[in-house]
Amino acid sequence: MRHRLACVTLGLEVRQSHSDLIIKPGDKVQIFCSHDKTDYRMMLWYQRSPGDTALKLIGYLYFKDVKMEEPYKEHFNISGDLGGSATKNGSLIIQVTGREQSAVYYCAASKAH
């Protein structure tokens, strides 16, 4: 069984890879996100499941601190460092277990906590 993950970027020139992935249960997937707004110290990750219009917050990175929403703590992780004055880089790591991870994933950047 193969699953499709698609990623879309929202907001101010936030760069995100990969645009489209086909994976299978047991795979570990890392999606990268970056932007050049040095005062935007928060990176948020969202999931939109097939057939659903709602964006669900997976969690966010604030400087180096990670906050995960409860339903995502077991199979998702966020990493990165939004400190300093260089390009801001972060990633979403997904341990694929089944169809519940088949979704569109969004990365967004924000100034405030």
| 26-75 residue pLDDT tens | 888 888 888 888 888 999 999 998 888 999 999 999 999 999 999 999 99
Per-domain residue ranges of the chain: 15-111
Please give the CATH architecture assigned to the domain spanning 15-111: Sandwich (2.60)
Q: Is 109 or 9 the better-scoring residue by pLDDT?
A: 109
Query: CA 15 → CA 47, 48, 57, 97, distances in Å?
Result: 17, 18, 19, 26
| Least confident among 16-20, 50-54, 91-95 | 16-20
pLDDT of residue 113: 53
